[in-house]
Amino acid sequence: MKKIFRIILYSLLVIIALPLTFLVVTQAWFYASYPIYSFHEPQPFSGDCFYNPYTNVVRTDWRKSLFHTHTESWMGLTHGDNSREELLEVYHALNYEVISVSNYMTVDTGGMHLPSYIPCYEHGYGYGKTHQMPMGTHGPVLWRDYVFVQNSLSQKQYTLDLLKPRCEVLAINHPDLRYGYTPEDFKYLCNYDLMEVLNGVRYSVKYWDSALSHGHAVWITANDDSHGVNDLKWVQREVLFVNTPTTNREDILFNLSHGAAFAVSFPRMPEATLAEKQTVADKVSFPESISVRHNSLIVKWQQTVSSITFIGDGGQLLASAHQTDCALYPIQPENTYVRVELRDEENGFTYYLNPVVRTSDGHVPAKQQLASVNAGKTMLKRITILLCIVLVAGGGGWWVRRKVKGNKVKGKG
Instruction: Please tell me the predicted confidence (pLDDT) of residue 134.
Output: 98
Instruction: Tell me which of 342 and 19 has the higher pLDDT.
Output: 342
Domain of 161: which CATH number? 3.20.20.140
Q: Would 65 be classed as within a structural domain?
A: yes
Q: For residue 264, tell me if it sits in a domain.
A: yes
Q: How many domains does the chain have?
A: 1
Pairing between β-strand 98-99 and β-strand 62-66 as defined by DSSP bridges: parallel
249 lies in some domain: yes
> Does a structural domain hold residue 399?
no
With beta carbons less than 8 A apart as the criterion, state whether 221 and 261 touch: yes
- Cα–Cα nearest to 338, from 324, 323, 317: 317
**So what's the pLDDT on residue 412?**
56
User: Does some domain include residue 393?
Assistant: no
> What pLDDT score does 122 carry?
98
* The pLDDT of residue 404 is above 70: no
What region does 323 belong to: left with phi over 0, alpha with psi -120 to 50, or beta? left
Confidence grade of residue 403 (pLDDT, cut at 50, 70, 90): low
3-state secondary structure of 150: coil
Pairing of strands 194-199, 219-223: parallel
Alpha helices per DSSP H over 134-288: 153-163, 205-213, 249-257, 274-281
Q: Average pLDDT of the chain? A: 93
In a domain, 10, yes or no: no
- pLDDT at residue 3 tops 80: no
Q: What is the mean pLDDT of residues 267-283?
A: 96
Model confidence at 408: pLDDT above 70: no
Tell me: the pLDDT tens digits for 65-107? 999 999 999 988 898 899 999 999 999 999 999 999 999 999 9
Q: What is the pTM of this model?
A: 0.92
φ and ψ at residue 376, rounded to 5 degrees: -65, -50
> Strand pairing of 316-330 and 337-344?
unpaired
Residues written for the chain: 413
pLDDT for the residue 119: 97
Give domain status of residue 57, yes or no. Answer: yes
Q: Are strands 261-265 and 287-293 parallel, antiparallel or unpaired?
A: unpaired
* Domain with 171 in it: 49-371
> Does a structural domain hold residue 407?
no
Q: By C-alpha distance, which of 104, 76, 72 is closest to 87?
A: 72
**CA-CA-CA-CA dihedral for 331, 335, 337, 343, to nearest 10:** -60
Chain centre distance of CA 102: 11
Burial status of residue 320 (CB atoms within 10 A of its CB: 0-12, 13-18, 19 or more): middle
pLDDT of 393 higher than 80: no
The residue among 16 and 398 whose pLDDT is bigger is 16
